[in-house]
Amino acid sequence: MRQLRGVTTTAPLAANTAETTASDQLPRRLGLWATTAVVVGTIIGSGIFRVPASVAAEVGSSTAIVLVWVLGGVISLCGALALAELAAALPQSGGVFVYLRQAYGPLIAFLFGWIQLFLAPASVAGISLVFAEYLSTVVPLSPTGVRAVAALVLLLVGAAGYRSVRGLGAFIGAAAVAKVAAIATLVLAAFLLGDGDAGSLGRGAPAAGQAHWGGIGLALVAALWAYNGIHDMICVAGEVKDPGRVLPRALVAGVGTVVVVYLAANAAYLYVLPFDTLKTSPLVASDTMVRVLGSTGAAAVAIMVMVSTLGATSGLGLAVPRIFYAMAREGLLFAPLARVHPRFQTPHVAVAFHTGVALVCVWSRSFEQLTEAFVLGTWPFLALAAAGVMVLRRNQPSLPRPYLTPGYPAVPIIFIAGTLWVVGSALVARPVSTLAGIGLTLLGIPIFLIWKRVTRRGIR
């Protein structure tokens, strides 16, 4: 046995990798740097610039805010550690869809893909709306203009994903570096130039006893939106070189980087902004820098957020269509979605389909509706995938595993328990919307049965 930077591994995955490449039409062109950049680039998007206000409003104290972001980081890191085992063992395009199919069969996998048909493009639409909202702080835009700009971003990203995986990956990497550097600059400016006495840790701190500890679970819904993306990179696992080595390293390094960046950013917000301002600020990064640098700071943050959200939109534009591509290859979605462009070697039909659905979402939903629906619809399936680590170890012990989850079985269990807590809190606090989301998921069962009957008759 050998060690992969402190993680126990088994023999190289040469045979498994070759087999996967032969069965997957998309060529492997993404290395360690590009893959790690996709992890960072898809997670750091709009969330850290938008949802801290929602977290603050739910929990009511600085201490509880820090607890929420730490818990969100722990849950996300445990999820990444668990999913990395599946990604290395099953390095195919489609990510979580592939793992659910392998562990539980086609119905559960279909239900994940079914809900992603609605929610994954909605996630991309929500991030593009934040891009346009921050642009409107520099260039005045009407509400209709904001949505039009968001739609234009989606079209440009879709065109890039249609044309080139390598080119889009390079842009995502550059954006990832730029956004981490920009947030680091924001943090340094806040602590070096900001007035900490007036912030949420000084005179602007909430009075003792104002914490709403019962709101932590619901606040985690918002925080997990910001951490969302731990599973997006593995959607492109079928295009990663040497996946048994690269995928675990990229997931762990990428998610670890994001946790550190998020904690630092929230510390900066708390240091500069009074709590009453923080909990009502939809543009919290901008408000922080305005207090530090005036109007110059607002413009700088607007550019920073625009780069970040554009990078995240690009990352999701690369990852999400692979879910639909994988579904179509398994006969669980319309066959044209599995087509690969003969020249560009991209799942071009799936990219176009994803872009079209995202455009509809931009014109029909608000940011808050998009984010909450996505977390509550997606993360239960991520918990099932983490449980799949245990299921496959029992049912398929001979499956090649170049990476083993450290802390097994505690790590996947922590992720599963955290996810159930979040969903349960949302169910108690907002039963109607949560049950509606569950109902939409369950609606996929008769759709699956009808689809199977139709495909047996040779219609796809």
Report which DSSP code applies to 338: G
Do residues 126 and 46 lie in contact, with contact meaning Cβ atoms separated by under 8 Å? yes
Residue 141, helix vs strand vs coil: coil
Q: What is the mean pLDDT of residues 88-117?
A: 92
User: Does the structure show a pLDDT above 90 at 109?
Assistant: yes
pLDDT tens track for 15-67: 343 333 344 467 888 888 888 888 888 888 778 887 899 899 889 888 899 99
Tell me the pLDDT tens digit for each residue of 117-146. 878 888 788 889 888 988 888 888 998 999
Q: What's the mean per-residue pLDDT of the chain? A: 84
Termini Cα distance of the chain: 46
Residue range 316-366, pLDDT digits in tens: 888 889 999 999 999 998 889 999 999 998 999 999 999 999 998 888 765
Give the confidence band of 388 by pLDDT, cuts at 50, 70, 90. Answer: very high
Higher pLDDT, 459 or 223: 223
What is the DSSP annotation of 396-431?
Answer: -TTS--SS--TTTTHHHHHHHHHHHHHHHHHHHH-H
* Per-residue model confidence (pLDDT) at position 25: 61
Per-residue pLDDT, averaged over 301-314, amounts to 88
Helices 243-272 + 165-193 axis angle, to 10: 30
CB distance 402 to 244 below 8 Å: yes
CATH 1.20.1260.10 fits 25-456, yes or no: no
For residue 233, pLDDT beyond 80: no
Reported pTM = 0.81
| Closest C-alpha to 321, from 303, 307, 296, 339 | 339
Share of the chain above pLDDT 70, in %: 90
Does the pLDDT at position 4 exceed 50? Answer: no
Whole-number pLDDT of residue 166: 79
Whether the CB-CB separation of 230 and 258 falls below 8 Å is answered with no
pLDDT band, residue 12 (cuts 50/70/90): very low
pLDDT of residue 5: 34
The DSSP string of 45-84 is SSHHHHTHHHHHHHH-SHHHHHHHHHHHHHHHHHHHHHHH
- Half-sphere exposure (Cβ direction) of 2: Cα atoms closer than 13 Å: 8
pLDDT single digits (tens) 168-204:
878 888 888 888 998 999 999 999 998 888 888 887 7
Cite the DSSP H helix spans in 243-366. 243-272, 275-278, 284-293, 295-329, 348-362
Q: What is the DSSP letter of 335?
A: G
Cα–Cα distance for residue pair 299/86, rounded to 1 Å: 42
Give pLDDT, residue 7: 39
Alpha-carbon span 383 to 155, nearest angstrom: 32
Number of helical H runs and strand E runs in the chain: 18, 2
User: What ranges do the domains of the chain cover?
Assistant: 25-456
- Which pLDDT belongs to residue 24? 44
**How far is 195 from 217, CA to CA, in rounded Å?**
31
| Angle at CA of residue 235, ends 120 and 359, nearest 5° | 30
Average pLDDT over residues 143-152: 94
Percent of the chain with pLDDT over 90: 36
Q: How confident is the model at residue 159, as a pLDDT?
A: 93
209 pLDDT above the threshold of 60: no
Residue 210 reports pLDDT greater than 80: no
- Report the pLDDT value the prediction gives residue 119, as an integer from 0 to 100: 81
Q: Which of 247-251, 282-286, 453-457 has the highest mean pLDDT?
A: 247-251
Of the listed ranges 80-94, 195-209, 247-261, 350-364, the one predicted with least confidence: 195-209
Comparing 435 with 292, the larger pLDDT belongs to: 292
